[in-house]
Structure 1
């Protein structure tokens, strides 16, 4: 079988402290790498000097530098468009890859659009970490209000063409969750339960967030519920913007499967006001709780959480509030 080419896409910003470890782990991959595209967002800490040194010794490394700061999301969208391989693997600047990461995902992805592996979170600066040992759910409902581990994604380059250039989701949601959303909408996302990336958590990272209050447990459940009730009117407008963007994208995909049709009905109800709309939405969430939450499967707890989800989903937007 003809070998499939893989492009690695990395975006950098002030990553000098850890980037050598990640570049070394990428260059040590057992699967041949077609190209490593690195796009820097105007670092001022010596990152570019390190990248240029590596590029001088490795002709597969292609370095680009933005003329103005874009931020992580826009930077990745732009960098991904430069890839020429059959597949694209997304890389953070401060992780460490297992040497067989790409080889394993190429073997597992099959005809799917996108493959996600397991990450092992670690820290060397005292940042909060939690390694969830449960098998995650990566069906469409999981991407309604949460993202995807972009650092562990391998996807077909053709998926880029399924994201219209002018949709609002490009600015509203992070790039990795958007492409996972597209693959899940087509029922073309697979998960492999093998640790492929050691994902460094540290407070200097541009996308660092403290998710300690999102851990499973009855105490956190009631904390989140109380927060959402208290901040409902503040958080709901942010939620609506996000849902409108996801709904626009999902309609543009024209996916002819039941899970996408159900997701459209859910999102439409999210944007409606009134008691009956909320009641119908709670019913849909509880009915489909097996593909809505972090882990798959049905339980009475998940059924109850389904009824409460139209309120509790607002917790995802706590970072938007001042």
Structure 2
């Protein structure tokens, strides 16, 4: 009697990916002990990505290219389109994929084994960032969860996420119900993690890296490594984008009136200072807790108004 492998829908958002997408798809289709279908949504590209993907799908029955749906303008909206338009019925798990990484062959098998044996709903993992120069760096996101970290950060790179069917279906319903609002979310993986945690789903971040996380100039969100990355993240906070995302996500996951959130939700000067005193509950890594404390004070004193 043939063994039934877990069925996994892999959602891949593509844009001008000709340099990397073939290697990425090969690493997904070579996953061990799982039955994979890759769904690709392509933001209109100028490098031939669309034609290549259609030709690849024509000879690979495990790959489906979704019909054109206009310009997305960013990976997050592209992923929301995938979540909305792909039918999850019949799949045991749903995973997210970027176009430019390289997955370990047991990436999905290991995630599914952990999800099943520990009775979990959502999974993410550490990754190995790599550059064309040969440089590599471990991206460690496997610190213990904090009670409210999900309102302020993702669980790690979204390309490591694997969701059980129940979580995937409920997240899909939330995305569809709040379709216009989610178009303003800059990081789909942050919202996904926040939705899971705020609705009582059990999430695990694996300290064992599951993939190679390619770094290049076209990365929309890359590895948080070096002073330039730190300065870019500070600019996003100083300009008001990050705190605006915090407020939007808190509202979307139904935490706007929670006793923890309500006192600081307007993010005015006194409220930011009060929030800084709760830094230990807002980020996972000790370094990030300290940075969070300082950012709250800096924004309160010299930062721009958060809308």
Q: TM-score, normalised by structure 1?
A: 0.75
SS in 1 for 2:207: strand
Relative to structure 1, is the Cα distance of residues 267 and 243 closer, same or farther in structure 2, using a 3 angstrom cutoff? Answer: farther
Distance 2:98 2:288 in 1: 33
The answer to whether 1:241 aligns with 2:244 is yes
1:1-322 maps to which residues of 2 (within 5 A)? Answer: 3-71=5-73, 72-81=75-84, 82-84=86-88, 85-110=91-116, 111-124=119-132, 130-133=137-140, 135-139=142-146, 141-147=148-154, 148-156=156-164, 157-158=168-169, 159-163=171-175, 164-166=177-179, 168-185=181-198, 186=200, 188-208=202-222, 211-213=225-227, 235-236=239-240, 238-251=241-254, 261=258, 265-266=260-261, 268-273=263-268, 275=270, 277-285=271-279, 289=280, 291-295=281-285, 307-311=293-297
Whether the 8 Å contact between 1:140 and 1:184 is mirrored in structure 2 is no
Whether the 8 Å contact between 2:128 and 2:136 is mirrored in structure 1 is no
Superimposed CA distance per residue, residues 198-223 of structure 1 (whole angstroms, 9 cap, x where no aligned partner) = 110000234457752388xxxx7xx8
Distance 1:130 1:253 in 2: 37
Distance 2:14 2:43 in 1: 6
Relative to structure 1, is the Cα distance of residues 124 and 305 closer, same or farther in structure 2, using a 3 angstrom cutoff? Answer: closer
1:258 matched residue in structure 2 = none
Distance 1:267 1:3 in 2: 46
Distance 2:56 2:290 in 1: 53
Distance 1:6 1:18 in 2: 22
What's the C-alpha RMSD, in Å, of the aligned pairs? 3.7
Whether the 8 Å contact between 1:139 and 1:184 is mirrored in structure 2 is no
Which blocks of at least 5 consecutive residues in structure 2 are unaligned?
none
Distance 2:145 2:87 in 1: 25
Whether the 8 Å contact between 1:270 and 1:310 is mirrored in structure 2 is no
Which blocks of at least 5 consecutive residues in structure 1 are unaligned?
255-260
Query: Shift in Å at residue 3 of structure 1?
Result: 4.9
Relative to structure 1, is the Cα distance of residues 304 and 135 closer, same or farther in structure 2, using a 3 angstrom cutoff? Answer: closer
Query: Shift in Å at residue 196 of structure 1?
Result: 0.8
Tell which deviates more after alignment, 50-59 or 160-169: 160-169
Whether the 8 Å contact between 1:7 and 1:83 is mirrored in structure 2 is no
Distance 2:291 2:239 in 1: 19
Q: How many residues align?
A: 288
Q: By percentage of residues, which structure has more helix?
A: 1
Query: Shift in Å at residue 172 of structure 1?
Result: 2.7
Query: Shift in Å at residue 302 of structure 1?
Result: 7.8
Q: TM-score, normalised by structure 2?
A: 0.78
Query: Shift in Å at residue 24 of structure 1?
Result: 0.8
